[in-house]
Amino acid sequence: MSGTLVLVRHGQSDWNLKNLFTGWRDVDLTEKGHAEAKAAGEKLKARGLKFDIAFTSALIRAQKTCQHILDAVGQSNLKTVKNLALNERDYGDLSGLDKDDARAKWGEEQVHVWRRSYDVPPPNGESLKDTGARVWPYYLHDMQPHVLRGETVLVAAHGNSLRALIMALDGLTGEEIVKLELGTGVPVVYRLNADSTVASKEVLG
């Protein structure tokens, strides 16, 4: 018996639009972000997907994306678990800074390393590896058991927390995962085998 795991990065946030490092700052969706989240729900509804449980982060942009999707599939009141284990990567001292200003302060090369390396964190922040260290145990303990019981699970979270999950699911290296771009509001549908391996993966772009 295989289950289904649907991953969705939140719709465009206000700080995505303004080119700011967001991290754990609790920033809302833009109008476009709301529309992207609703469109994600419509794509999943068109596939006839119904969920048994939903998981999201402690941040409003992911929570609202999750709710838009559940509204679209007709499951507005579905049990939804919120946990900071699924929060975006903490950008530390970069949080709230314009990306161009950060490059001016620390240099283009250094900022690129912080953004695109697997295990080098920005000052007082997290690397992608650090983000994975909280995402992976949470997935194994709280989310995967539902999927392995044959349930359909929705996860609405963030670019880096979902990258960490995809890294584990797809068996990617640190080098490979940092090159992976996740579109806002684009569902990624995994079907898992009973032994937790991936049977299929589809990106509903």
Q: What's the CATH number for 3-37+49-203?
A: 3.40.50.1240
pLDDT digits 0-9 by tens, 22-48: 999 999 999 999 999 999 999 999 999
Q: What integer pLDDT is reported at residue 1 of this predicted model? A: 64
Q: What integer pLDDT is reported at residue 138 of this predicted model? A: 98
**Domain segments of the chain as ranges:** 3-37+49-203
Q: Is 192 helix (H, G, I), strand (E, B) or coil?
A: strand
Residue 174 has pLDDT above 70, yes or no: yes
> What band does 2 get if pLDDT is binned at 50, 70 and 90?
confident
Active-site positions read 10, 88
pLDDT digits 0-9 by tens, 132-168: 999 999 999 999 999 999 999 999 999 999 999 999 9
Exposure string (b/e) for 114-133, b if CB count within 10 Å is 16 or more? bbeebeebbeebbbbbbbbe
Alpha carbon distance 191, 43 (integer Å): 17
pTM score > 0.75 for this model?
yes
What contacts 24+ positions apart, CB below 8 Å, involve 121-124?
121/92, 122/91, 122/92, 122/93, 122/94, 123/92, 123/93, 123/94, 124/92, 124/93
